[in-house]
Amino acid sequence: MESIIDVEITGHVALITMVDREKKNQLSERLIVALTDTLSQLGSNSDVSVIVLCGYDNYFCCGGDVNEIANRVSQRQAVFNKECVFELVLNCKLPIISAMQGHALGAGLALGLYCDFIFMAEQSIYSANFMKYDFTPGFGSTYILPKKMGYTLGHEMLYGAKNYYGLELKQRGAGVNVVDKENVLDDAMKFAGNLAKSSRHALITLKSGLNRDLEAELSQAIDNELHMHEQTLYKQSVASKISLPL
């Protein structure tokens, strides 16, 4: 089976590239497991101090796997769980930089925003598109979007579910780095190289200290999201809209 994750280590920086071309990097169970395992392995590699996460071509991560979501909705199952989010975004002790060179939607946008540093492309599309499908946001989006994008813009993105080009987010004052698409990965790698000049131990210690309250805050947000999903997810309108194009 073709790999959906590529890893390249240069100096003390590891570059993870998501390359599930068949699904445009939708967060399938397979991609989640592959990412979780890769982050765990790199976190245990004493030669790696900083991680950069990117996608391929025009895609960073296009949200949840629509087929898996449709199946879970039809069986009245949760479309995500707290353990999945925590394992994916909280268990890696190394600083992670998201190089979101391509489009990022729904849970894919949240994935990029969970990283410690964020680079977006002026020409790519970013959307918290959950409400487009008539169910409330998940994957901790209600926590991480206002935290990283700013309260007003974050809430607008959650409610409106519209597409934003990175340039508009930049003009709106989003608290992330937004650059020309051609420069996203290079800028992220240069930034990672500068971080990696510090000792691995110091980087790990600083990340732990800065994220001290994250687990409790995110846990409460996810509990709230799962409660809202019980009220919104298992509706006929949701089932009919999940099959819409991304």
Active-site residue among 155, 201, 227, 229? 229
- Two structure tokens written together for 112: 């990029």
- Rounded to 10°, the helix 107-114/141-149 angle is 60
**Catalytic residue list contains 229:** yes
To which H or E segment does residue 168 belong?
Answer: helix 166-171
Distance of CA 32 to the CA centre of its chain: 11
As a whole number of angstroms, the distance between CA 166 and CA 56 comes to: 17
As a whole number of angstroms, the distance between CA 9 and CA 16 comes to: 9
CA 14 to each of CA 4, 6, 11: distance values in angstroms, whole numbers, following the listed order? 16, 10, 8
Give the catalytic positions in this structure: 229
